[in-house]
A and B are shown apart, each in its own frame.
Chain A
Amino acid sequence: EAQVTQNPRYLITVTGKKLTVTCSQNMNHEYMSWYRQDPGLGLRQIYYSMNVEVTDKGDVPEGYKVSRKEKRNFPLILESPSPNQTSLYFCASSFGLAGLTGELFFGEGSRLTVL
C-alpha cells in the first residue's frame, strides 16, 4: 500500500529536550515536505526537499532542522523544542514538484505538545 508514515503520532515533551519526528514514504517520490497546522493559520511549510541531499527552507523554518540522506526518509528535528512549537505536524511527498502536479500525499500527522 502506498503511504507516508510518520512517527510518533502523539508526543508530549518538555522544553529543550531534543526530539525527532520520522517520516518515510514507499512511493519513490523525489519531493518531500514538512508542514505544521495551527488553528486559523492553515498549513505552513517548514522545510522541503527536492531530492536526496537537497533541502530548503519553507515559510517557518526557525527552530527546526531536516535531513535527506535517503530518498524515502525525511526526518524533522527539533533541537531545543519550545512551547510555540506545539502543533500538528504533517509530512508529505509527491512525484516531482508538488506545485506542478498538485498532488501531495500526506502522512496521518504527529501531534506534538511541548510543556
Chain B
Amino acid sequence: GNSVTQMEGPVTLSEEAFLTINCTYTATGYPSLFWYVQYPGEGLQLLLKATKADDKGSNKGFEATYRKETTSFHLEKGSVQVSDSAVYFCALSRGAGGTSYGKLTFGQGTILTVHP
C-alpha cells in the first residue's frame, strides 16, 4: 500500500538557518505529493504541492522537488523564521483508480522549533 516516511523530529534551529525535512514515499503509479503545515492550536493547511516528477512546489519561501528516481519530496527553506515553528506533514495521493482513490496518506509529522 501507499506510505509516507518523514525524518525523525523534533527539529530545532536558530533563526535564519537552512531547513531540510526529509520525506520519502512508497506508492505504485504516479502519486501527487504535498506538504501540509500545522501551526500551534490550528488545523492543517496546504503549504505546497507537486503533481508530477521533477515538478517543484513552492510557497512562503519553502520549496520541494518531486524526485521519482529517489521517491523523495524533501522540504527546504533557505532562512527560517520564528514564525515557521509548526508541525510539517508530507502526504501523497494516488488519484484515480483502486481502493485508495481520492485518499491522502500522511506521514507522521515533523515538529520544527525555531529560536530567535
Contacts and interface: CB of A to CB of B under 8 A. Distances in A.
Interface of A: 4, 31, 35, 37, 40-45, 48, 50, 58, 90, 92, 96-100, 102-109
Interface in B88-109: 89, 91, 93-96, 100-104, 106-109
B94 to A, nearest CB: 6
B34 interface: yes
Interface centre among B51, B95, B102, B106 (most CB of A within 10 A): B102
A31 B102 contact: yes
Interface of B: 4, 32, 34, 36, 41-46, 49, 51, 89, 91, 93-96, 100-104, 106-109
Given A42-B89, A99-B94, A99-B95, A104 B42 contact: no
B43 A108 contact: yes
Contacts of A35: 106
Q: Which 6 A-B pairs have the closest CB atoms?
A: A106-B43, A97-B102, A99-B93, A42-B108, A99-B102, A43-B106
A81 to B, nearest CB: 22
A104 B89 contact: no
B43 A109 contact: yes
A41 B108 contact: yes
30 contacts: A31-B102, A42-B89, A42-B106, A42-B107, A42-B108, A43-B44, A43-B89, A44-B106, A45-B103, A58-B103, A90-B44, A96-B102, A97-B101, A98-B93, A98-B104, A99-B94, A99-B101, A99-B104, A100-B93, A102-B34, A102-B51, A102-B91, A102-B104, A103-B46, A104-B36, A104-B44, A104-B46, A105-B45, A108-B42, A108-B43
